[in-house]
Copies of this chain bind each other. A is one copy, B any other.
Amino acid sequence: MNKFDYRVPYADTDNMGVVYYANYLIYFERGRTELLRQIGYTYKEMEEKGLYFPIRNVECNYHSPAHYDDMITIETTLSEIRSASVVFHYVIKCQDKLLVTGMTKHPLVDYSFKPTRLPQDLKDMLEQHLEVIEK
């Protein structure tokens, strides 16, 4: 699991004085990028090797809003690894307050969006960081 702190800029807020709902998906992206960096294989390196993780499904549940200048924490967990897809779960908090939970499912593809498989060395590294999420 990776914890990443992020300061909410004015740019992310909206007319209602809270973070606009689409921006949490960008926070999810920051979380999984940092989790992969922590695992030891950056997403940038994966792309350079021709491995892409586009998104097939997203779920996002909004419990309480984030506001301008809040320091939020994105907790990212790798919760499923299959030969041709991976799943991440996310919990976003502000101090101890739960703001948002979510999930993204990613097929593994090459640059032309054709399905491909995880290289064994990467699969081994990822599996060491797998944490099953209770539903």
Contacts and interface: CB of A to CB of B under 8 A. Distances in A.
A69 B54 contact: no
Identical copies of this chain, number: 4
A54 B16 contact: yes
Nearest to A26: B11
A17 interface: yes
Interface stretch (A56-64, A77-85, A115-123, A124-132): A56-64
B11 A20 contact: yes
Contacts of A113: 65
A41 interface: no
B65 A33 contact: no
A43 B33 CA distance: 29
